[in-house]
């Protein structure tokens, strides 16, 4: 721990790096991290990246049919993140309705206010996908975007 010696008269701290390690070490977290690394290695990063690209391409192709959608970042070689707005609908309002359907999005300027100013928007919606997501979940996501958008128009 961080303490070397404590008495009523004085306290002395342990040597570095131990003096900065207060509390009980996160043993469970270290074991969990090891298990997560083993799992990712067993699946294979190439497989994970390939699957995430499939998910992203599928989502973008379906989302292109949403009336008034505008994407921010459409590179073919993009990470599994889609930033978008829908004309006439505030990003926060859409995010709030989608949250009610159990869909978690980020809404706002995403700590990138200079970029938002350059894009001339006050914020965007951002959906992120990972290799544990399914195509069925993406279909649900698209369906609920359409329902929520209709409610807000």
56 plus 118 within the same structural domain: yes
74 plus 134 within the same structural domain: yes
Structural domain boundaries, residue 33: 3-42
Give the Cβ contact number of residue 3 at 10 Å.
Answer: 12
56 plus 84 within the same structural domain: yes
101 plus 131 within the same structural domain: yes
- Domain of 75, CATH number, reads 3.90.1150.10
pTM of the complete model beyond 0.85: no
Closest CA to 83 of 48, 47, 128, 119: 128
Confidence at residue 57, expressed as pLDDT on a 0 to 100 scale: 95
38 plus 82 within the same structural domain: no
Distances, alpha carbon 143 to alpha carbons 73, 84, 97, 117, in Å = 22, 16, 13, 30
52 plus 80 within the same structural domain: yes
32 plus 53 within the same structural domain: no
101 plus 128 within the same structural domain: yes
**Which residues have CB under 8 Å from 54's CB, separation 6+?**
none
| Residues labelled as active-site residues | 111
55 plus 30 within the same structural domain: no
Q: Phi-psi bin for 128: left (phi > 0), alpha (psi -120 to 50), beta?
A: beta
Task: State the Cα–Cα distance between residues 58 and 140, nearest whole angstrom.
Answer: 13
Confidence at residue 9, expressed as pLDDT on a 0 to 100 scale: 93
Please give the tally of structural domains in the chain: 2
Q: Which residues of the chain register pLDDT less than 50?
A: none
63 plus 96 within the same structural domain: yes
- Report pLDDT digits (tens) over 75-107: 888 899 999 999 999 999 999 999 999 999 999
CA angle 25/30/32 to nearest 5° reads 135
SS3 content of the chain, % helix, strand, coil (to 5): 50, 15, 35
51 plus 103 within the same structural domain: yes
Residue 72 phi, psi (nearest 5): -120, 100
């Amino acid at each position: 721990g961080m303490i070397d010696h404590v008495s009523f008269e004085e306290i002395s701290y342990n040597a570095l790096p131990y003096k900065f390690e207060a509390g009980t070490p996160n043993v469970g977290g270290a074991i969990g991290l090891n298990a997560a690394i083993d799992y990712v290695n067993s699946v294979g990063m190439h497989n994970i990246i390939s699957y995430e690209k499939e998910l992203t391409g599928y989502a973008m192709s379906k989302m292109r049919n949403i009336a008034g959608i505008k994407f921010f970042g459409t590179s073919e070689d993009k990470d599994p993140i889609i930033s978008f707005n829908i004309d006439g609908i505030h990003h926060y309002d859409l995010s709030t309705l989608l949250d009610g359907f159990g869909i978690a999005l980020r809404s706002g300027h995403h700590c990138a206010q200079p970029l938002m100013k350059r894009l001339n928007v006050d914020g965007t919606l951002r959906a992120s996908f990972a290799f544990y997501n399914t195509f069925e979940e993406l279909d649900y996501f698209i369906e609920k975007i359409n329902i929520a958008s209709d409610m807000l128009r």
